[in-house]
A = this chain, B = another copy of it.
Amino acid sequence: MKISDALRQKADYIWQRILNHPFVIELYQGTLPIEKFKFYVLQDYNYLVGLTRTLTIIASKSNFDLMRKVLKLAQEEANTELANYERLLEELGLTIEDAIKEEPSPTNYAYMNFMNLTAFLGTPYEGLATIMPCFWSYMEIARHHEKLLKSNENSLYVNWAEVYLSKEYIELVEDLKELLNKASEAEFHRLESVFKRASKYEYMFWDMTYRMERWPI
């Protein structure tokens, strides 16, 4: 079995919880309160900045071939992806300044620090394993709930979700899997630990955004 598939299998019990989280279901049904979606978008903008940092750390420790590929991804995140966010923010009556001013919630901050520290301390593959669950689970969520979109009357949510069903997005996820599959089998135990931790944070991210989590102090 490919490393990526084996990791996905080990984390399945977590991914089932992700697929069925109320935030996800209400978003695909179109019933999610807009305030929760706004909160999500502001938090996720900050998460993408953190994820771009993770990519630069991974690149800095990679051989030139991997560095080039990861740099391309980082460049896309820092430009295309975040530019999409600027459009989405506008549609929500928000600005990029609102997103920059938004303080990452405790769970969001913990997730980003975990990704970045793991990338600093470990191999490039451990770094890649921290960012995989986010990219990959978005695709799987979209496929799993695709039918719900047909009766979803909130065009904002539908437009948002359809990105993750696009050919481009699927290719991106497949490219990432391919990079990760070049890891050595000797690393598997460590990659599993990292991939599961990131999957748990992915679940906790949906949950904190549903609760609109703030710092207790």
**Residue A164 is within 8 A (CB to CB) of chain B in the complex:** no
Residues of chain A from 171 to 213 with CB closer than 8 A to chain B in the complex: 184, 186, 200, 203-204, 207
Q: Would A116 and B114 count as touching, CB distance under 8 A? A: no
Q: Which residue of B lies closest to A49 (CB)?
A: B64
Chain B residues with Cβ below 8 Å from A114 are 109-110, 113
A52 to B61 CA separation, bound complex (whole angstroms): 11
What's the least CB distance linking A184 to chain B, in Å?
Answer: 5
Q: Which of B71, B100, B110, B215 contacts A71 (CB 8 A)?
A: B71
Cα A113 to Cα B75 with chains together (Å): 25
Main secondary structure of the interface of A (DSSP, over half): helix
CA distance A95 to B45 in the complex (A): 43
Q: Do A67 and B60 have beta carbons less than 8 Å apart?
A: no
- For window 19-72 of chain A, which residues contact chain B by CB distance below 8 Å? 49, 52-53, 56-57, 59-61, 64, 67-68, 71-72
CB proximity of A102 to chain B, nearest CB, Å: 13
Q: How many copies does the complex hold?
A: 4
Interface assignment of A149: CB less than 8 Å from any CB of chain B: no
A1 contacts the other chain (CB 8 A): no
Indicate if A10 sits at the interface (CB-CB under 8 A).
Answer: no
Q: How far, in Å, is A39 (CB) from chain B's closest CB?
A: 19
Q: Is A17 an interface residue (CB 8 A)?
A: yes
A123 at the interface (CB under 8 A from B): yes
